[in-house]
Homo-oligomer: A and B are copies of this chain.
Amino acid sequence: MMTALCKARPGPGAELVDMPVPNLGPRDILIKVRAASICGTDLHIYSWDPWAQGRVHPPLVFGHEFCGDVVAVGSDVTRVPLGSYVAAESHVVCGECYECRHGMAHICRYVQILGVDRPGAFAEYVAIPEQNAWLTDRRFPPEIATVQEPMGNAVHSAAVAPIAGANVAIFGMGPIGLFTVPIARASGAARIIVVEPSEDRRRLATRMGADVVLDPVTDDVVRRIREETGGEGADVLLEMSGNAAAIRQGLEALRFGGHASLLGIPSRPVELDLADGVIFKGATVMGIAGRKLWDTWYQTRGYLESGMDLSPIITHKLPLSEYERAFDLVASGRSGKVVLLPTG
């Protein structure tokens, strides 16, 4: 038996339950969870918003960012040794659809997401397909190993953009936004300008290396970005907020011929000035979903191995039993990454 955080029924909240340790299929591995970090998606499930109501089928153990030790392996497992220290790609992909067979498994149309479509990692144990495991060096502590997955989103957003020598505007300093700051720096950004309403998160952004920190409540964001870029506008926009006004401001502040990576997910349709914001400007706008399999994971590992320090972004570590406080912190919009520790 094990303890797990379960969305037991439709409605807000979740509860700690005792339940059997998951069974393993022949190609699955069982992981004793050392750390499981909370994603915005988990907050959607916890607070039971419309998206969660339409997608999630309780009862469900949720949580999809994690790391831990491999304590059992199925009969056909060949690549992941017992005792390995692993993080995990949360997208279980089909491997057979057009996207999977075309180098785009990250947007597999038959994807099943851990902790959303199948049991997740806010638990002492989680079972995942062997193919989803990412072998991790033990020099990286659990709170870092677990955030390789959301950091991968940031890496993916930055990797498709021409950042070397560029002025980069980043909207939204949630954890993924915060990860993009040192990644943009490591990718050769000339100047990093961030936009974020929370003072706590602006402070974190500065600590992570942002050159200019703007508050959209009090700053004229578009004008300020132009000023900070010699009147040109930003070369690259990393839109990590999903806020409609931010998307519009970001495209307006983008330089002619600039690149925009959109990762933040707007909750409803957004009215855009495509003529001036995209077409006349000759802009490139890319939607970013998940992590490229496995290019993004290798790049993420490269950044960690080169010494990138993400520890300031991990603002809270709590035992699984304090999940209510953990979700309150995430809901506050002021924290960095909040990490749960299911097995101490």
| Chain A residues at the B interface, C-beta cutoff of 8 Å | 78-79, 96, 98-99, 101-104, 106-107, 109, 155, 158-159, 164-167, 183, 185-191, 232, 247, 255-257, 262-263, 265-267, 269-275, 278-289, 292-295, 298-303, 305-306
A203 to B: closest C-beta gap in Å: 21
20 A-B pairs (CB sep. < 8 Å): A159-B164, A164-B187, A165-B300, A165-B302, A165-B303, A167-B302, A187-B187, A188-B303, A188-B306, A190-B303, A262-B278, A265-B275, A265-B279, A265-B280, A266-B274, A269-B273, A269-B274, A278-B287, A280-B287, A282-B286
Residues in chain B near residue A267, CB distance under 8 A: 275
Asked if B287 and A281 make an inter-chain contact with CB atoms under 8 angstroms apart, the answer reads: yes
Asked if A284 and B281 make an inter-chain contact with CB atoms under 8 angstroms apart, the answer reads: no
Asked if A164 and B302 make an inter-chain contact with CB atoms under 8 angstroms apart, the answer reads: yes
Which listed residue, B78, B232, B285, B293, touches A284 by the CB 8 Å rule? Answer: B285
Residues in chain B near residue A282, CB distance under 8 A: 104, 106-107, 286-289
Asked if A257 and B303 make an inter-chain contact with CB atoms under 8 angstroms apart, the answer reads: no
Query: A164 vs B164: C-alpha distance in the bound complex, in angstroms?
Result: 10
Please name 20 further chain A to chain B contacts, defined as beta carbons within 8 Å, in addition to the given A99-B256, A262-B274, sorted by A numbering: A79-B96, A98-B255, A99-B257, A101-B293, A165-B299, A165-B301, A165-B302, A165-B303, A166-B302, A186-B188, A187-B188, A190-B301, A191-B306, A262-B279, A269-B271, A269-B273, A271-B271, A271-B272, A279-B287, A285-B287
